[in-house]
Amino acid sequence: MSQKVLDALRAKFGDAVVATESQHGDEVALVKRDKLVAIATWLRDDPAMAFEVPVFVTCIDLLDWRPVKAPGQPSSTRPAWDNVDGKAPRFEVCWQLRSFSRRHRLRLKVALVENDLKVASLTPLWSGFDWQERETFDMYGVEFQGHPDLRRIYLYDEFVGHPLRKDYPKEKRQPLVRRSDLVGDH
């Protein structure tokens, strides 16, 4: 569909585009963290790209993730996807962009290792990403640098941890209030 976006991206930024993928008409580009803002700015401002619509931001926790071999395909490992400076990434942050005028879309991804969860915020470029970056911070603890107001958005300030991480215990609760007359409880 918009393979030409990926081609243009590669032609312009070369090595900063670590890997690309096209699946079911969705184009995905994994880019280097320090080139994210330059790439995103170009995607927004270049008249041939014109990505004016921010669709969503989210994060993928790759803890225990194993590539699944699709039937009939030689291999579905994604080597370029699997390391950031030699380390296996724990999270992928992705921004979905869309262009109404050019009728194409693109998902930008940045891979992060566990103890360095910092990435540039794209809110200064598309203000529509504001609350969703806060949500991603709330749920996964990704720190969006340059975000104007990076606070929790859904959970209360007393909450400790980030519940959508795969290693957050499923049944762990952090109550704000409990009855005082419950026997043997709190």
Residues that bind another protein (CB under 8 A): 154-156, 163, 168, 170-179, 181-182
Closest to another protein by CB, 25 vs 161, is: 161
CB of 153 to another protein, least distance (A): 12
The one-letter code for the residue type at 2 is: S
Burial bucket for residue 151 (CB in 10 Å: 0-12, 13-18, 19+): exposed
CB of 115 to another protein, least distance (A): 23
CB of 176 to another protein, least distance (A): 5
CB of 132 to another protein, least distance (A): 18
53 in Cβ contact with 97 (< 8 Å): yes
Closest to another protein by CB, 15 vs 158, is: 158
Closest to another protein by CB, 24 vs 173, is: 173
Among 23, 20, 21, 22, residue whose Cα is nearest residue 10: 20
Q: Report residue 7 CA to chain centroid gap.
A: 22
Burial bucket for residue 47 (CB in 10 Å: 0-12, 13-18, 19+): exposed
The one-letter code for the residue type at 77 is: T
Closest to another protein by CB, 11 vs 177, is: 177
